[in-house]
Each structure stands twice: as structure tokens, then as C-alpha cells.
Chains A and B, each alone.
Chain A
């Protein structure tokens, strides 16, 4: 009987979604069941057989565990639905077709614009539309969307293309540049729809999209670094033969690489080649304490010397970038964390980092509001101020929830809920800058 139980145990442990403590719990259950059956008069063999049968088919059991413990699975393999066949073999072809299509498109666009000799405004304005529709297509194909879902997935891209190209832009327009900067962000959220398989409701799937975003950034940076080395060496080798040749290579390879890498990075995150086995916890461990120290020192310095002294117009943009990085750290830490783990020192360090960033930002924001009162709103100031407020609200609430979590007043789940619930606000703000800001400032 013991052998049978340990065989069953080994079989259940094979699933990455079921960890050691879970198997202990299941085994205790199995033994209780066996005891009861034997008391009722069954033989040892019969009792084990019936108990194992009642426990349920191990495959569907591990699938059910995987649904609840997505984070564990994320580290190891791709979540597969019921009866869905493994499709590692065919999938890289989809990826390749989409990546090549993106590369061809970017070259057609480049030739039409005469880039790099010329840089027409429409090229900058539409930048987000050259890559992200392909990423959305890749996920649409991979998730097997229905006709209606394809239509819904395409809608934001079509609307964005129409808005960006039909608005009557003035020459050297600030709003046009702001749109160019915010459009990729808005469209990134539009990719979430096909990524999540044509439904935006599930909080767990939203958290998966946050994880995907983080890992995608890591993969993209790695590919870009490798590509940079490759291009540098190619240049060095071709230079002696002919400088024009090297230039040709750059003009043809670089744009294709930049857009193609976006698709390849997505495919890598999806198929988890176990190359980068969960970088997020490592990055968080290294950078959270460093940022905590840097931000605390900066906050003290500002408080002692007065923020007004160092103040200039660009400062708000810098602080927007700072808050984005802090938010990135919070999200990385969250996506890498086991929600069941009790509060630890890392959570305290994170709270210090967020609090220091908030104090700094509030000092700058105070000065900025006074300035805007004097100088009035411009498109840039409005966009910077809006982004700052959107981030400030998010981080202030995150800090408050984290504090209560550290005191044991609520579960980590509430922090996740806050972040996943807030995602539409980011998407909405980026979309508002694209669609409404140009109208508000008459396309100047």
C-alpha cells in the first residue's frame, strides 16, 4: 500500500503547478479516505484504488491547480487549455510569418517616406501603428480568436489610424509629438485584448498580461543588445570594403530588426524556452534596494535645499519617468511574488522606495501647479501633469495597501486587485492624450 501511495505522490508531484505542501495536503486526504474505506471492510488494494479514483484524474487536477496558481506555472510552462494539443512545432511558423510581414511593412513605409534622408511628420505620428497591429495579429492567431473578436481587436487600431491621420495638424505641432509618444502606449493596451483571448474581464489574465509586458521588455532589451553587437561587428568588417555597403546594411537590417524583434520577443515569452528563467525576481531584488536608497537621499536633499531651487520646466517629465520606473519595480515585484508568502523585508524596502518617490513627486508637483497657475496650460504641461497625477494616485494607493499588508490587515490579493483594476486608467489616459488633447489645443 505504501508503495502505491508513494507512486501516486510522485505522479502528482510531476505537475509544476502542484507544490510540495499541496502534495502533502492531498496525501493526507488520500490516507484519510483509505482509512475510512478499510474500516468499511475494503482490502488495502481496493481502498487505494477507490481513494485514488475519487481524488480525480491527475491531469485535470493539475490543470485546476494551474488555474489557481498561475504564477507558479508562469515560471515553468505555458498554460494549456483542456484538450488543446501542444503546438510548439507549428507555432514558430506563425511567429516567423508575422515577423516577416512586420519587417516588409516597415520597409515599404520607409521607402514611401524616404527615411532616413527625410523624416516626415506622418512617419513619427504613425510609429505605433507599424509594429503593434502585427503583435495583436500574432496573439489573435495564437489564441484562435473568433470572427467577432477579430473585429473588436482590430477596432482600436483602425480608430487610431483614422484619428491620427485625419486630424488637421498644424506645422511643428506639439500635440502631434505627444500623440506619437502616447499612441504606442494606448495600442499596447489594445494588444491586451487578443493576448487575453478576446476578453478583458479576468483579473488573473490581466496579471498575466502585466507579467507578459515585464518579460517582453527583458527579452526585447536582450535581443537589442545582441543585435547591437552584431551590427557593430558587421560595420567594422564591412567598413574596409566600402563605407556605402555598411550603410546599406544598416538601412535594410536595422528597421527590420527593430520591428521583427518585437514579435520574436513576444514569441519567446509565450513559448518559454527556459532561457531566461524568470528574470523579474532577480531584477527586483537588485534594483528595489538601490532605488530605495537613491530616492531617500534625493528626497532628503530636496527637502533640505528646497525643491524650488532646482526647478525647471523639464523637471516634471523627469519625475514622470521616475514614477514610471518605480511603478515598473512594483509590478515586477508583484508578478514575481508568491501571493501566499507573508510580508518580508523586501516588501518594506519597496514601501520605502515608493514613499520616497511620492514625497519627491509631491514637492515638485506643488511647484509645478504654482507655475502652471502663472504660465497657463500648454499641451506638454497638460500631458506631463496628467500622467503625473495618474501615476501619483496609483502609487499612493499602492503604498497605502502595502502598508496595511505589512501590518497584516489585508491579503496580498488586494494589492494585485488594485493594480489589475487600475490598468484601464492607464489605457484611458493614453487614449485621451491621443484622441482628446489635440482637440483641446486646436492641433497646435
Chain B
């Protein structure tokens, strides 16, 4: 299944914030988690994650710290802030509304859409 580019872009921010809400993480691990969660269906271009993370930092949604774990390479870790959690909650409200509306239209069981006037 190919997921539309706009949909991928729109879901990126809440996805990253939600992953960071589970605990601090770094870029590569965040991407691995996205793949894992979506069963590999959500394909991001790896590099594009970083401008997004930097934007979240500028907005004060995450803090960053360079750290070298005992066994591993030096990485930049991202942790969610209070503002970030508030933004995530707002995203959740918006997505809940959208998915609820779509579910109602599509018959409530995730079935194919019943197109009015269709065969």
C-alpha cells in the first residue's frame, strides 16, 4: 500500500511527539519505531526527520542533548517537554475528530466506503 505523501507529512509531527512521549530517543531509533508501528507501510525518507526534529526544538516541544552511551556512538537525544505534551494532546484531539468523522461515513467497521449513488 502506498500512503499519500501529504498524509505522511501531516501525521509526522504527532507521530514523533507520541514516540518521544514514550521516552527520550534519537533520530535513528525514532525512525525504526515508526517502521515497526506501521508494519513498514509508513516510509519516510530518513533525512527528512531531522529538519522536523529541529523545528520541534525551535518551537520548544523537545529538548536535545548530545550523549555517548557506554556502548555505542555519540548521538543527539530528544526528550519531550510540557509544551510538547500539550501540542501532542491538541494533535490527538484533531486526529480523533477526523478519524471519527471518517469512521461514521464509512460504516463504522473500517469497511470500504459506501459511495452514495454507486453500484
* Residues B19-67 near A (CB distance < 8 A): 26-28, 31, 45-48, 50-52, 54-55, 57-60
Is A411 a contact of B59 with CB atoms below 8 Å? yes
Any chain B CB within 8 A of the CB of A80? Answer: no
Query: Do A28 and B47 form a contact, CB below 8 Å, given A69-B54, A413-B58?
Result: no
Give the Cβ gap from B18 to chain A, nearest Cβ, in Å.
20
Residues of B within 8 A of A65 (CB): 50-51, 54
Choose the segment among A29-37, A149-157, A246-254 that binds chain B (4+ C-beta atoms closer than 8 Å).
A29-37
Report the separation of the CA atoms of residues A413 and B54 in the bound assembly, to the nearest whole angstrom. Answer: 12
**A414's closest neighbor in chain B, by CB?**
B60
Interfacial chain B residues near A26, Cβ < 8 Å: 47, 50
Consensus secondary structure, chain B interface:
helix
CA separation between A168 and B47, bound complex, in Å?
62
Contact status of A32 and B28, CB under 8 A, knowing A26-B47, A54-B45, A64-B51 = yes
B60 near A33: Cβ-Cβ < 8 Å? no
Could you tell me if B46 and A64 are in contact, using CB atoms closer than 8 angstroms?
no
Is B45 a contact of A28 with CB atoms below 8 Å?
Answer: no
Query: Beta-carbon contacts of A387-425 to B below 8 Å, as 1s and 0s?
Result: 000000000000000000000001101100000000000
> Is B103 interfacial (CB-CB < 8 Å)?
no
| Residues in A neighbouring B27, C-beta threshold 8 A | 25, 28-29
Give A31's nearest chain B residue, CB to CB.
Answer: B73
A33, B76: Cβ atoms closer than 8 Å? no
- Size category of the A interface is 20 to 34
B81 to A, closest residue via Cβ: A411
**Residues in A whose Cβ lies below 8 Å from that of B52:** 68
Pairwise interchain contact B28-A29, C-beta atoms closer than 8 A:
yes
Q: Which of B55, B58, B60 has the most CB of A within 10 A?
A: B58
Is the CB–CB distance between A33 and B50 below 8 Å? no
Q: A86 contacts the other chain (Cβ, under 8 Å)? A: no
Do A68 and B54 touch across chains, with their CB atoms under 8 A apart?
yes
A67 near B28 (CB under 8 angstroms)? no
Known: A22-B50, A25-B27. A68 touches B76 (CB 8 A): no
Does B74 reach chain A (CB closer than 8 Å)?
yes
Q: Judging by beta carbons under 8 Å apart, are A29 and B51 in contact?
A: no
Q: Is the CB of B58 within 8 A of A68?
A: yes
A104 adjacent to chain B (CB < 8 Å) = no
Report if B100 contacts A (CB, 8 A): no
- Minimum distance in angstroms from B47 CB to a CB of chain A: 4
Interface positions of B from 52 to 98, Cβ below 8 Å from A: 52, 54-55, 57-60, 73-76
Question: Contact: B59 with A33, CB < 8 Å?
Answer: no
State whether the Cβ of A56 lies closer than 8 Å to any Cβ in chain B. Answer: yes
The closest CB in chain A to the CB of B72 belongs to: A32
Bound together, the chains give a CA A67 to CA B9 distance in angstroms of 15
| Complex interface: chain A residues within 8 A of B60 (CB) | 410-411, 413-414
Given contacts A28-B74, A28-B75, A413-B59, contact A33 B51 (CB under 8 A): no
Evaluate contact between B47 and A56: CB separation under 8 angstroms.
Answer: yes
CA distance A171 to B102 in the complex (A): 67
Residue among A28, A56, A61, A339 with the highest chain B CB neighbour number at 10 A = A28
A375 at the interface (CB under 8 A from B): no
A372 contact set on B, CB distance < 8 A: none
Chain B hits for A1, CB < 8 A: none
Q: Are B51 and A68 in touch, CB under 8 angstroms? A: yes
**A55 interfacial contact with B, CB 8 Å:** yes
B58 touches A340 (CB 8 A): yes
B51:A55 contact, CB within 8 angstroms? no
Task: Give the contacts of A182-222 with B (CB-CB under 8 A).
Answer: none
Considering only residues 54-73 of chain A, those with a C-beta below 8 Å from chain B are 54-57, 60-61, 64-65, 67-69
| Known pairs A68-B54, A411-B59, A411-B60 / 11 extra A-B pairs, C-beta < 8 Å | A21-B76, A28-B75, A29-B28, A29-B46, A31-B73, A33-B28, A33-B46, A55-B45, A61-B47, A65-B54, A414-B60
Q: Please give the residue numbers on chain A whose beta carbons come within 8 Å of chain B beta carbons, in ascending order.
A: 21-22, 24-26, 28-29, 31-33, 54-57, 60-61, 64-65, 67-69, 339-340, 410-411, 413-414
A-B CB proximity, top 9 nearest: A411-B60, A56-B45, A32-B28, A56-B47, A61-B47, A68-B51, A64-B51, A55-B47, A55-B46
